Amino acid sequence: MVAHRYVDVNGIRLHIAEQGEGPLVILLHGFPESWHSWHRQLGPLAEAGFRVVAPDQRGYGSSDHPDAVDAYTILHLVGDVVGLIRELGEEKAYVVGHDWGAPVAWHTALLRPDMVLGVAGLSVPPPHRGAQPPLGMMEEIFQGRFYWNYFARPGVADAEFARDTRTALRKFLYSASGSASPSGEIRQPLVDPEKGWLAAMEDPEVLPEWLTEDDLDTLTESFAKGFTGALNWYRNLDRNWELTAPWADAVVTRPALYIFGDRDVVPAFPGARDLIDQLPQLMPSLRRAPVELAGCGHWTQQERPAEVNAALIDFLTGCEREINGGPGTVSDPS
């Protein structure tokens, strides 16, 4: 059974869902999601012998929503994971993230390898710090129409998405899924500043099989406090670029796994596919080549739960065998 409670970490209170016993696995959701995006992973990972914890990250769901924009930097988010591991009574954990949760997972492994047993990212590949701030770069490439730049404008997207939260979320989830692009065509997420982002998104008459009305009810309820906290993550993109300067060209050294869908827009971002193709050479810690899921869009673990669960369990149990003295034992940096 999934249990719910609150924990105080890093100066805020987080809501968590947890299940199982064994080595700790932290599951980090993305935008616009909540702990519930992992509900198809909690049981299978627990049955495989792991203690699985999925928080609502700061600014989301029932967790605290700090007011200050600069309370959502990558250092705050990594700090939340570090604090959560400690508050749960552990010294180390596996960290798994999807969408925005993936950069948090990757950076936790990058900044605190002593606390990470292994790391997996879904959709968003490992961090690559570009030569210029990301908002300025996308502003230049797409003449200010890239969705990051739209989200970064104070109060604008917040108001658009809050006008009809359920419809906004339904459009988000469908439009970025593999269900919306059966031909495999991927378009960059560009916004008409006059009309907003939702205007161009299809609103499905029937939900895809992987998304139920109950799922949508739960997610809609989780945004009762609005979207500002979640959007503040995007408003720190350039600040994160500045803060991570000391780790320029650093690579994740902990055992790693990367999973993505072939209809996901993120791997189609400028330069992303080249990075993914080079990952086996750039990251010797990868335990296998990047896992590409055919017909899968952005919502990786929700659209393809069976394949994602199998890959995660194989990765986690393989790491455990290595840690416990199997062939190719993982070195412990602590």
Q: Where are the beta strands (DSSP E) in 29-107?
A: 51-55, 93-98
Catalytic residue ranges: 99, 298
| Sheet bearing 291-293, strands edge to edge | 3-9, 12-19, 51-55, 24-28, 93-98, 116-122, 256-261, 291-293
**Amino acid making up residue 219:** L
DSSP-derived letter for residue 92 is -
Residue pair 229/236 in contact (Cβ under 8 Å)? The answer is no
Does the bond joining 32 to the residue before it have cis omega, within 30 degrees of 0? yes
- Residue 144: count other Cβ atoms within 10 Å of its Cβ: 15
Residue pair 59/66 in contact (Cβ under 8 Å)? The answer is yes
What per-residue string of b and e applies to 12-47 under the rule 16 or more CB within 10 Å gives b? Answer: bebbbbbbbeebbbbbbbbbbbbbbbbbbbbebbbe
Cα(6)–Cα(320) distance, integer angstroms: 28
DSSP-derived letter for residue 125 is P
